[in-house]
Every structure is written in structure tokens, then in C-alpha cells.
Structure 1
């Protein structure tokens, strides 16, 4: 029998950052027997759990209820006040909403921390930095909040430090009336008039949510349409619904500056116009948290924007150094960050691994209505990058949608002519994030439209429109 002295010691993995890319990779590495340390400075769960994804979607959940209440009269539901008269208004208590948002975020963070502890993952509080890398061995220095420092040795390092809201010298947040999306949860009173600058996913989601909460919203978009990176048909539906519900959308309007005078915020546009309100949310994109991490000294390449360059198994240019999540700029989704982190650990620890395939990533914009996508896009088809047949069905013809008073939205499927293989899809409507899943399975498993069409769906159901769209792609 071999003595314990000759047994190989476990691989040492240090993960810098406790967000989805960090904690998910830690769980995989622990499962595969590694000695795992997570170095975290912002709280387990990272911005996704504490200041971004979980809080924003919790806020949006409240907004969804408000939207349903606003449409209830069409279904024959009437709200009465305490005296039995028809209620003229439903009001939201933003202080209570935000308190719940922050409580749920903290609870989720604590749940993840407990899971890491149960799996034997060590968590060190502080800011991590690569200080030495040689011959497959790495040293990470950790600076705690009190300034004390310790070092942790590693056979592999995963950098998962995320990204932060982008600001401009001419548009500086003050945390009170000019806000980044991480600061909105400190609001205790409703904004009288809210200006959202930026019409990408973050801007569109907050504009849609606050509109549903009964707040006067102006959306400033530098592009010709809201959500310029999404399906054009989907963007058109969202913009039409938003305007119909009272949102003021300023297209082709580039922000020059945001200033505050007392309780008034002024957004000045490059064409000389200006918009005033009580509050402004800056949704100007993200910048990676990659400064002062010792990356250059370790031989880790970053691009001109500061994003870490990685391959499809999350390797950087330095041996034994991996990266995952928003700091890589690959695709800023929590699900992608988590998968990048898992792939990194599977690769380093010798488990079965498949490279990251962005064609199989499903994503969702949590507006009202939601917009979910997977696989190839309409733009790729229109530009000739991929040959595909397209079918689009409006949800207004779906029996379940009619029952629920849903008039807006559609299902769109893309499939290869000849083979009939489903290569993409778009769903616009309530809970599109749930409806996209069968399309995601079809894309990931290379199912044909006929195979999708022949699967039973519940009648009546929204998912019936997915099967119907697939039936219309028969023999293409």
C-alpha cells in the first residue's frame, strides 16, 4: 500500500471574483477535488446578485404586477376603494419595493456563500492581484479592507472580476438624482420625472419597469430605434407598446451632458435640445474591472477596451490563467459568465469539456413585453451570413393569448432549407424568457422543424405558437 506521503496533493485553484463566473467555477472545481479559494471584495454573487441582475429583475417583477393590474379591466376585473367606489389609481411604494429588492439580493448572496462553505470552498475577503507567475505556479496577493495583505499560492487562477457601469466626464452620477443602474435601489421616493439615457438592454429594461410603476419616463436613444442590437421586429413591438403606454422616446438623440441644479436634472443633447426631469439613470454600457490586477506582468493580454482576451475554453494568453464573465467582454450575461467559469475548471482539471458555443446561448430582455432570442438572427439572414427560412406568428392569434388579453408579441423561427434544422428563434411576449426554452433545446440539439412540430403542446398555451410556427416550416 502506498503511503499518504506519495499521494498527489489536490490542484490549487484561486478564483478572483465571487460573481457567477467565480462561484460557479468554484463549485465545479470543488466537485472535481481541487483545493479552491475564492478571493472576493464586493460580496458573494458579485454585481449580478447584489447590484445588477437579481435586483433589477426583482424590481421588474413588481413592474409586471403593475402591468397586469393596468390591463385587468379588459378582463372584467375592477378595483374598488374602501368606500366601494372604482379606484382611479394603483400606487407603488418605491421604498418598500427597493427594501424588498435589497433584501432578496442579500438573501441570495448568503445562500450562495453557504453553498460554497458546504462544498469546502475557502472565501477570502479582499482585492486579489496576480503578483507572480512562473512554470505553472501563481501567487495571488489579497489586500483586505483594513489594508492588511496575505498571499495565496495556486496552480491555476481564474479572473472573474466583472465590469462596472460606464460613466462620462460630462455625465457624473451623484447617487441622488443622477444614478447608475447600481444606485437606483437607494431611492425611497418615486421620481417625478425620470430620464433614462441609453436604449440598450439595461436602459430599455429600467425605462420599461419604471413606466409600469407609474412614473413619467423619457428614454434618450442615440440610435434610430430602441434595442438596436436586438431583432428589429422585436424592437418595433417594444417601442410601439412603450409609446402607447406613455413613454417619451427620443430617437437619434445623443446625450452631450447631464447636470443637476437642486432637484432638477437636465440632459443636454448634441443638437442643442435639452430634457429636464427629477432623476436620470445612466445606461451607457460597462467597463471591465481589470485595472491593477497584475495582468500585464503575468502575460495576460487585454484588448484596447481593457477586456481580457480568452479562447473558447476560457484560457488567457498566460499559462494556467483563465478568465470568465463580463471582464472578458465575450457576451455580458450571467449565464455565459457561469458557463465560461465551468468550462475553465473542466478544462484545467481534465474533465470532459466542450468549447463555448455562443450560437446556443439564449438571452432575454426583461421589458414589457419581454424579448427572448437564441441562435441566428434576422440580421444575419438579411445580410446573407446564413441561409435560413423564416416564419413569424403574431401572438394575437394564439387562443391562450386572447384569453389573457395579450395583443402584442410574436414567435419567430429560423430553419435551414433542405434539412429543416432549427437554427434560431425570437419570442416576444409575456414570460418570453420561459417560452424560449424549447427553441433553445431545438437549436442546441439540432432538431428539425418537423421534430419540434410533432411534440405535443398543451392546448391552449402560448407554446402552441412555437409548434405552429414549426409546422409552417414543413417541407421548406
Structure 2
């Protein structure tokens, strides 16, 4: 048995763990990162953000060529399998792993492969793949173990016809039909992706509307375009049981409906990866979704043990997890952290078309009785959108009627997740500098998608006078 001592031990090498490790190592702390998977990067790199977005981009390009009159003749009879399209994602994953491995090497961070479990408040035992054991002692710990798809106990996930957002990446054929249970971000993204591959697609939503945290106008646009693509959406439905067979799976709903397709993708919630950490020995308890409660400094009930990322629940974003890791490390190093997550974090939803938003929705502003106005820019009117053939979508700016301060920006369409950052930059300015007139008086490149901000700002001003 090997025993080592560090200033900080981080469990998990995803965005939260990486952010913490880089901050701590650059502050001359001796740092180790424990990763149970054979490669670093966590779920973000291997099962979540990177593979799903790389796959989406491959499908988007395939669909774009297939529907382009210039290439229609060439594309006749040319069909790509799901596995062929997924191959592009594997290439991106390999590049990301190599890049991040370089970060750890250059900053002298030790990577220890294996499953970590707390022995006492200052020691974790790591069971290594070769059957050995390494004992790591540290002054402080950061838990950044992420999450995994929630599995209800009455659903047989060992059956090859029942998949989740991890195992969907191991699918070895292109099915003809699929039911997705759960219409959150993951469910909507995969519904859009598989429909573009030509699958007959059922999207089962347990709630009243899609992605209720979005602005109502964006929700309506998403629902319309998913249905326009041929996706059958069923709201307010809950499963009774799942009945898998040799060549299909039947989803029985409590409403009495039965939905039969080649595969079922379960996309209804996630669970924190805390079950094997031995936290009960330390008096640290997880909630019903195995997530950890932390204070504003990301400390658990044991003040020298921190937790960041998906394992603490919302917002569940890779970008936020990285910052949380940095802030937790800063608190360990200095005893305080002057940094906090910004109030408004942009959402990025990679449906087709994609969605991104920041700030308040109309529903929230109305409830708070804040006097606001709306400015729209429809993409079909933008020269750049016409040139690239992506005319579906819009940019929507919500601003204060009196001060003209930007209160929210909502985008639906091509490159929405990139476009949103212009609005984010202006919203983050000082009170007197966050102003709609910035977009009116700024000269934008022409033709660009960014020009939508000027068009939307002028549209909004016209509603005031």
C-alpha cells in the first residue's frame, strides 16, 4: 500500500476538478486529482457535452448538405450510419483528452487512477485498476465527481433496447424509431438530433410545457419547430411501466397510451456520483438525488471538504462547474473568495435550431412588475442568415422602458449560443453603461448575425415612441 500527502486532493477530473486543480497548482499547492475512468475529462468530455455536441454538428452538416439543392444530386443514395457520424465525436474526445492531459503535466498535478473512498476526514483510499491501494492524505478535499443518468428501479437498463444519455453513445445501429422519455435539455437535444437522422420520434414530456425556464416565446418557437420537423410531443404524461422485447420496446403511460418503438431513451433526471465515496463515515449526507448541499463557498458540513459541479445540482453547466472549482480552490488557499458566480449565466441548448438566453424572461419581469419593452429581430430578414440559408430564428431583447437597461436576451436560431455573448457583455457593464443605445449607436460588420442586435434595438425603441 502506497501513502502520499498533498495540500489538496480533488476527486474527479471534469470541468469542476480541472478548474480547482489549475487554480491550486498555480498557487504553489501540491495537488492530486483522482479519476476513476481510464482517461481524464469526466462525463463532460466522454459522455456528455463534447460527444453529444460533436455528434450534433456532424448530423447538422449532413442534413445541411442533404437539403442543399447544390448537393442534392450528389447526396442521392448516400446515407451515413449513426456510428459513422459518431466517429467524428471520438476524434474530438481524443483531442480534448490530449489537451487536458497537457494542462496537468505542465502544472505538476498528479493524476491517480482509481475509485476514491474516504477513510477518515483527512484520508481517502484509492482502489487502483491493478488491484492495489493508494492512501491519500490532504489538508483539504474537493469533490467534483459529477452526475449520471437517473435510473428508476423498475426499469431494466441492462436491456439493449433501453438506453440513457451515456449508453446512447454505444448504440451500434441506426434505428428507425425511438421514444425519448423526458423532455428536458438532454431529451430535446437528442430528439432534434435523431429526427434529423430520419427516425420516427416520440418525445414524452412529464410536464406541461417544454423547458419551462425559458421565455414563453422561445418555448413556443421550439415546440413549433420540433413538431414541424415531425416529432410527436406528448405533454403531462408519466410512465406506468416499460416493456422491452427482442426487437422493440413498449412504453406504457399512466394515461392508458402505449408507445412502441425500436428503442427507448430515458432522459428524465440525473443523480450525483456520491454513492461510493464513503461520505456517511464523515457525517456528510446527500439528498434524494445523491447531490451534496454546500454553502456560498462550496463547503460541505465538513468545512475542509468542498463540492462543485453537477454533484451539487443546478445549474449543471460545464462552464459554471469550472468557475466553481476555481472559487473553491481560492477559498482553500486564502480563507476567502472574492469571486462569486455571476447572477446571469447563459443557457446553451443545442437543439436544431439551437437556443441561448441570459437574464430575465417576460414572465419573470411581469411577476416582478418591472416596466419593460421588447425588441425583435427575425433572422429571415438578415442578409447573413439569407446567405447561409439559416433563416429560422430570432433575437429578442428585453429592456427597461425608462432606463433602457438590458434585462434579458433570448435567441433561437443558428449560432444562438455564440450570438448571446454580445448581449451578456453589455448586461455585465456598470449600471449606466448597460444600455440599449449601445446597440443602436454601434457599427456592426455587414452582413453578420450580430447585426440582429441593432435591428432588435431599433425595433424596441420604435415601441416606445
Task: Give the TM-score normalised by the residue count of structure 2.
Answer: 0.91
Match of 2:456 among 447, 456, 469: 469
Runs of 5+ consecutive residues of structure 1 not aligned to the other structure: 1-9, 82-86
CA distance in 2, matches of 1:302, 1:286: 14
Match of 2:8 among 13, 29, 33: 13
Matched with 1:453 is: 440
Match of 1:80 among 63, 73, 76: 73
Asked if 1 retains the 8 angstrom alpha-carbon contact of 2:19 and 2:324, the reply is no
| Closer, same or farther: CA 152–387 of 1 in aligned 2, 3 Å | farther
CA distance in 2, matches of 1:352, 1:456: 42
C-alpha deviation, 1:63, in angstroms: 1.7
Aligned structure 1 segments of 4 or more residues deviating by more than 6 angstroms: none
CA distance in 1, matches of 2:461, 2:336: 36
**Counterparts in 2 of 1:297-308, with a 5 A limit?**
297-300=281-284, 302-308=286-292
Confirm whether residue 23 of structure 1 aligns to residue 18 of structure 2. yes
C-alpha deviation, 1:162, in angstroms: 0.5
Query: What do the CA deviations read for 1:361-402 (whole angstroms, capped 9, x no partner)?
Result: 112100011010112223312322755433233222223223
Asked if 2 retains the 8 angstrom alpha-carbon contact of 1:175 and 1:183, the reply is no
Confirm whether residue 112 of structure 1 aligns to residue 100 of structure 2. yes
**Counterparts in 2 of 1:49-88, with a 5 A limit?**
49-73=45-69, 77-81=70-74, 88=76
Asked if 1 retains the 8 angstrom alpha-carbon contact of 2:348 and 2:355, the reply is yes
| Closer, same or farther: CA 394–61 of 1 in aligned 2, 3 Å | same
Query: What do the CA deviations read for 1:187-206 (whole angstroms, capped 9, x no partner)?
Result: 22211111111110000000
Asked if 2 retains the 8 angstrom alpha-carbon contact of 1:91 and 1:214, the reply is no
Matched with 2:260 is: 276
Asked if 2 retains the 8 angstrom alpha-carbon contact of 1:396 and 1:402, the reply is yes
CA distance in 1, matches of 2:91, 2:126: 28
| Closer, same or farther: CA 144–462 of 1 in aligned 2, 3 Å | same
C-alpha deviation, 1:54, in angstroms: 0.6
Query: What do the CA deviations read for 1:296-339 (whole angstroms, capped 9, x no partner)?
Result: 43344543433211233322232222111000003111111111
CA distance in 1, matches of 2:78, 2:340: 46
Matched with 1:99 is: 87
Asked if 2 retains the 8 angstrom alpha-carbon contact of 1:193 and 1:217, the reply is yes
Match of 1:159 among 131, 143, 164: 143
Query: What do the CA deviations read for 1:147-169 (whole angstroms, capped 9, x no partner)?
Result: 43221121211000111101113
C-alpha deviation, 1:207, in angstroms: 0.6
C-alpha deviation, 1:130, in angstroms: 2.6
Asked if 2 retains the 8 angstrom alpha-carbon contact of 1:196 and 1:282, the reply is yes
Query: How much is the aligned-residue C-alpha RMSD, in angstroms?
Result: 2.3
Runs of 5+ consecutive residues of structure 2 not aligned to the other structure: none
> Secondary structure of 1:349's match?
helix
CA distance in 1, matches of 2:248, 2:29: 55
C-alpha deviation, 1:358, in angstroms: 4.9
Confirm whether residue 194 of structure 1 aligns to residue 165 of structure 2. no
Confirm whether residue 290 of structure 1 aligns to residue 274 of structure 2. yes
Asked if 2 retains the 8 angstrom alpha-carbon contact of 1:422 and 1:448, the reply is yes
**Counterparts in 2 of 1:33-432, with a 5 A limit?**
33-42=28-37, 43-73=39-69, 77-81=70-74, 88=76, 90-133=78-121, 138-174=122-158, 176-300=160-284, 302-350=286-334, 353-384=337-368, 387-432=371-416
Task: Give the TM-score normalised by the residue count of structure 1.
Answer: 0.89
Asked if 2 retains the 8 angstrom alpha-carbon contact of 1:420 and 1:474, the reply is no
Asked if 1 retains the 8 angstrom alpha-carbon contact of 2:176 and 2:198, the reply is no
> Secondary structure of 1:360's match?
coil
| Closer, same or farther: CA 11–174 of 1 in aligned 2, 3 Å | closer
Q: Answer with 277-286 or 109-118: which moved more.
A: 109-118
Asked if 1 retains the 8 angstrom alpha-carbon contact of 2:380 and 2:392, the reply is yes
